[in-house]
Structure 1
Amino acid sequence: MLLCGEQVASSVGRQITALALPLLAVTDLGAGPFGAAALLALTYLPGAVLSPLAGAIVDGHVTLAHLYVVAAVSGTLTFTLSVALQAALPRVVAPERLLAANSALTAARTSGQVGGPALGGVMVGLLGADAALIAGSAAYAIEALFLFALPAALDAPTGSREPARAKSLAGSLRMGFTVVRAERRLRRMVLAGAGLNLGSGAAAALYVFYATHDLTLPAWQLGTTYAAYSAATLAGALLAGRFARTSGLWRATQIFGLAAGAAVFLTPAASLGLAFPVLFAYQVCYGLSGTVWMISMTTTQQLVTPDGMQGRVAGLVQAVLLTTVPVGALAGGALAAWLGNVPMLMGAAAVTLLSAATLWAPTGAGVTVPERALDAEAESRR
């Protein structure tokens, strides 16, 4: 009876979609014969490609290949949601409240990162990995309920202008690139962020190996440094607004970007002695400064991006920042095998610091949108 009920529900959903999807394409989006036919083809294509894998899963046991597929799909959807969230926030939050909103979102996300791994570890130890994954899926289901409850205002364009449109996906991507290239501070933040992630990605890739192999830290001390990082990110999310109101949004981006870059030097410095307290200090300094820097940068990005371009700019910026992490990790691993861990970590720290220093190059005179918005927030609080 349960299977029959599931089939009825899914069949109704499929039939509604089978009619509504091509109607939307033909009547609202101007799809021609090939476009309508492509919709039908894409409906069946995943089944044609994935049916053999599905059969293997049904008949067999879970393998690493299945986990790779789950990780890839989950990662794709997670980062898609991240871009959408950055684009949606300015539609429901006034410019002078964006900083506080980004801080609140970061604090909420960080609170889950602080308690989630511990809860997951306890569940795996008591109930097993399969039960822990089911609990994780339940958490995703609750997340979906929150997403479905979001207001319809998120679908409305911001401001008085319609979103800028392009004739093709490539043209749409070029429009986002044009915005980033045209806005000096946005361009500089992207380049500095790429360098920061490149160096910190290289350092992070070797952190566990370096701490256990070179510094011989026991597992509990290594875990404690990670806990310190999580606590510091939460503190950074709570204090980001205060720092930005005190020094200015752009100045906070400069100061804490530089602080994050300088903090990476503490990693190779741990080889000189007092390894545990030095690495503990590194995680605290990098977690706090990196979080304030990211919140300030994201808020600035949202403030300077034109109406209707938030998604494209956020997607482009995120792609650059994410790409440099694995590139840095792979490069760091290769260089460490050649030069050794400490010289590589010194080089990674130099890259992060020099990248952050580019934020301090002159940007021209005049008051920009971020400072005006921050002044408005401070005035409203008074």
Structure 2
Amino acid sequence: MPVRPRAANRGPLRMRDFRLLLAGAAAGQLGAQVTLAALPLVAVLQLNAPAFQVGLLTAAETAAFLLVGLPAGAWVDRMRKLPLLIRADLVRAIAMASVPLAAVAEVLTMAQLYVVALVTGVATVFFDVAHQSLLPQLLPKEQLVAGNGALETVRSSAQVAGPGIGGGLVQLLGAPLAIVADAAGYAVSALFLWRIKRPESRPQRVPGSSLRTDVAEGLRFVFGHRLLRLIAAATGLANLFSAMLMATQAVFLVRVLGLEPGAIGLVLSAAAVGGLAGALCAGPLAALLGQARIIWLSTLVTGPFALLWPLSGQGAGAALFAVGSGVVFFGAVVYNVAQVSFRQVLCPPRLLGRMNATLRFVMWGTLPLGALAGGALADAFGARVALVWCAAGFLVVPLPLLLSPLRRMRELPDATGDTDTELPVTATGEDDDSPACAAGEPAEPASRG
């Protein structure tokens, strides 16, 4: 959709519709981050669930990316994005509100938590794909890095405040009632999105197209592009081990470190300060080091700090957990801003939904697998051993990026010609002849991508 005159010369925060998009993201993310602390604590404290069931709950939250991830992109490309975002927010608000209602009625079960996690996960798939596809319609391409940086700042700020608020609410009201904040956040997000007035026409249907051919076109675009392939591989690995962390950290912090809910919230909030710093530094770092270089550097430098998770101990030793997460969060957010902005510039508008959905299927499809693996490892060998495997995995994440053309580039191309038969010229002006150039891409531990 064409950008209004002079829009390219205005900062994204001066545009009313982007401010509303940002405000909606702030409300939804704050509620979601409260639940990040509260929902596993419902299972651990209220229902006394074992580690594997907590892992299964985390897997249910992300299973939708495997179940509907690919067709979601084709459906999103056929629909107006804004009404879809509003409907997804309302579905998530209603699903989350059912948890405190069931707790008050004393009928809450793990089965209900699984259903709520699955329903909100499906709504989140459609919301995230549509959200990333809407942003290029609101901003010119030269402002996408700034726009994505602002959205990451909001998300990281919610990660700072949300878990602390969630832990405090759990301690004050109990875990189920704390989830009211999540339902309210999604409702407020829907209200802000409803106020966006930018005209949006329904996408034109290509004659003779079908769901199968639309999905196949998205797959061809992503897997036919070398840089998208390798970014998908690295992010899929990062999310696999991030999910192992998310599935085991509540059990580890409660049962191994002996922390109270309020202290857990503070540890998670302190860790998320790194994500906020990453959002603020992503743009300047990309300008200083290059958008291509910062993608692999961010994972290579920050990944080893994951080793602090299994080394953390009781009392003051819990600070190691926060420090490790903070540095890993920093790298994840810097990475996300760079690679998401690249994807949005690279992809034709008519394929944005399918491109984002295909990448989410690959990158986020590893989340339920990681959650199940983390829960199983914690059940069999203890939460600390599961964190050892998780931390070791983060050392492997940069490998697809290092064994690729990115290692020799400074800036990323902004055209669609980087396929198996066309490789961009590197920053040094030489053609890349790396034997690994055909190798196969995050909230947030944030989920990436």
2:149–2:279 Cα contact (<8 Å) kept: yes
The reply to whether residue 79 of structure 1 matches residue 125 of structure 2 is yes
1:72: how far off? Answer: 3.2
- Structure 2, unmatched stretches of 5+, are 1-77, 79-101, 416-449
- After TM superposition, the structure 1 stretch with the greater mean CA deviation from structure 2, 297-306 or 344-353, is 344-353
The reply to whether residue 145 of structure 1 matches residue 187 of structure 2 is no
**Equivalences, count:** 310
Aligned counterpart, 2:296: 254
Match of 1:105 among 142, 151, 170: 151
Q: Distance in 2 between matches of 1:309 and 1:363?
A: 24
Q: Distance in 1 between matches of 2:260 and 2:168?
A: 20
1:194: how far off? Answer: 0.7
Aligned counterpart, 1:25: none
2:216 aligned partner, one-letter code: R
1:195 aligned partner, one-letter code: L
The reply to whether residue 278 of structure 1 matches residue 326 of structure 2 is no
1:172 aligned partner, one-letter code: D
The reply to whether residue 321 of structure 1 matches residue 360 of structure 2 is no
Q: Distance in 1 between matches of 2:190 and 2:231?
A: 32
Q: Distance in 1 between matches of 2:267 and 2:139?
A: 35
Partner of 2:209: helix, strand, or coil? Answer: coil
1:70 to 1:219, Cα distance in 2 relative to 1, 3 A: closer
- Equivalent positions of 1:1-382 (< 5 A) are 63-64=108-109, 68-119=114-165, 136-155=182-201, 167-216=209-258, 221-270=263-312, 275-339=317-381, 341-363=383-405, 368-369=412-413
> Whose radius of gyration is greater, 1 or 2?
1
Partner of 1:309: helix, strand, or coil? Answer: helix
- After TM superposition, the structure 1 stretch with the greater mean CA deviation from structure 2, 270-279 or 74-83, is 270-279
Q: Distance in 2 between matches of 1:265 and 1:128?
A: 32
2:170–2:262 Cα contact (<8 Å) kept: no
1:288 to 1:155, Cα distance in 2 relative to 1, 3 A: farther
1:176 to 1:342, Cα distance in 2 relative to 1, 3 A: same
Aligned counterpart, 1:18: none
Could you list the per-position Cα deviations for residues 71-129 of structure 1 after superposition, in whole angstroms to 9, with x for gaps in the alignment?
43333223311110101111221222111100111222333343345555666777788
1:354 to 1:147, Cα distance in 2 relative to 1, 3 A: same
Q: Distance in 2 between matches of 1:225 and 1:123?
A: 15
- After TM superposition, the structure 1 stretch with the greater mean CA deviation from structure 2, 67-76 or 220-229, is 67-76
1:357 to 1:155, Cα distance in 2 relative to 1, 3 A: farther
1:82 aligned partner, one-letter code: D
Partner of 1:334: helix, strand, or coil? Answer: helix
2:345–2:414 Cα contact (<8 Å) kept: yes
2:375 aligned partner, one-letter code: G
Q: Distance in 2 between matches of 1:133 and 1:341?
A: 25
* Higher normalized helix content (fraction of residues): 1
1:348: how far off? Answer: 2.6
1:200 to 1:92, Cα distance in 2 relative to 1, 3 A: same
Q: Distance in 2 between matches of 1:146 and 1:236?
A: 26
Q: Distance in 1 between matches of 2:243 and 2:169?
A: 30
1:347 to 1:165, Cα distance in 2 relative to 1, 3 A: farther
1:125 to 1:330, Cα distance in 2 relative to 1, 3 A: closer
Q: Distance in 1 between matches of 2:246 and 2:163?
A: 18
- After TM superposition, the structure 1 stretch with the greater mean CA deviation from structure 2, 311-320 or 328-337, is 328-337
